[in-house]
Amino acid sequence: MTLNILKEITIYSKNGNDVEIPIGYVLYLRDITDKYYFEPNEEKGTFKGTLYPQQTQYPNDEIDNIIFDSIKQKFPKSQIKNDLDTRNNRDIPVLKTKLIINPLFTKTSKNHLNDNFHIEINIYSTASKERFSEIYFEGSCDYERYEIIQENLKSIKFL
């Protein structure tokens, strides 16, 4: 059995009263690997004396940052939470959208201007579909890392 980490990004937006409220969620799973693992805490053992890891001990890498930053560009108050329990299925409507990853070009890589990569993701939301109509998320990475990022994104299971 593979141990997975559930990444839950809560999307916040202002309501009619100018108050930030959660309007949706993006969920995805990451596998624990030799390059993506929990950081041990030397003070009190791996999980700081608790049964569960602290949020700061969960792995976070360039891929997680690209996904989260792309959502924060449109919804700056969004937050991310990690969990080991993947059985927490949400019984709320799903809206489909895209995460587009574009490489950042240098002078020597201008001949690849049509390169981009996108994957379909779900937003779990009880907000109206119009709130997310024509919404998509864009992230970027260095051109030199672009193929590695693409391959790593293909290994992520978006729920």
Q: Reduce the secondary structure of 20-42 to three states and give it as a string.
A: EEEEEEEEEEEECCCCCCCCCCC
Residue 10 scores a pLDDT above 80: yes
Q: Which two tokens stand for residue 74?
A: 């449109």
Q: How large is the average pLDDT for residues 62-74?
A: 96
Phi, psi for 4 (deg, rounded to 5) = -110, 155
Q: Which residue has the higher pLDDT, 23 or 112?
A: 23
With contact defined as beta carbons under 8 Å apart, do 101 and 153 qualify? yes
pLDDT at 142: 87
As a whole number of angstroms, the distance between CA 94 and CA 59 comes to 27
As a whole number of angstroms, the distance between CA 71 and CA 127 comes to 17
Instruction: Give residue-wise pLDDT tens across range 11-48.
Output: 999 999 999 999 999 999 998 888 888 876 665 555 55
Residue 107 scores a pLDDT above 70: no
Q: How large is the average pLDDT for residues 87-102?
A: 75
Q: Which residue has the higher pLDDT, 71 or 86?
A: 71
Taking alpha carbons only, the member of 96, 102, 101 closest to residue 158 is: 96
Strands 4-14 and 20-31: antiparallel
DSSP label at residue 129: G
Instruction: Give residue-wise pLDDT tens across range 114-138.
Output: 567 889 998 888 677 777 778 899 9
Q: How large is the average pLDDT for residues 104-109?
A: 65
Q: Which residue has the higher pLDDT, 51 or 57?
A: 57
Phi, psi for 92 (deg, rounded to 5) = -130, 160
Q: How large is the average pLDDT for residues 64-87?
A: 90
Mean pLDDT, the chain, integer: 82
Query: In whole angstroms, how large is the CA radius of gyration of the chain?
Result: 17
E-assigned strand segments in 17-155: 20-31, 79-83, 94-104, 117-124, 137-142
